Amino acid sequence: MERITRSRSQADHEEADVMDDQELQAAQEAARANLDEIDLDEVDSLLEEIDDVLEKNATGFISGFVQVNGQ
């Protein structure tokens, strides 16, 4: 009886791995589709804005991301 239980457990685990691979594949396909929709000019603009802020006040920019009292 113990052998049957182990075999079923292993089969369930292998099935879960297959489902995980299918979910991963679906997520990768969705990510590829999203990449096609990205406006590179908008990304460049945002990166330039961040660079300008960092040149002027890197400490102030970073301090905006520091958590206070675990929040």
Q: pLDDT (tens digit, 9 = 90+) per residue, 50-71?
A: 899 888 888 887 787 777 776 5
Six token digits for residue 46:
């945002």
Cα distance between residue 60 and residue 52, in whole Å: 13
Cα distance between residue 24 and residue 42, in whole Å: 28
pTM score of the predicted model: 0.37
Cα angle value 40/46/52 (rounded, 5°) = 135
Task: Evaluate whether 53 touches 61 at the Cβ level (below 8 Å).
Answer: yes
Task: Evaluate whether 34 touches 27 at the Cβ level (below 8 Å).
Answer: no
Please give the pLDDT value at position 1.
Answer: 47
Question: What sign results for the dihedral spanned by CA atoms 60, 61, 64, 70?
Answer: negative
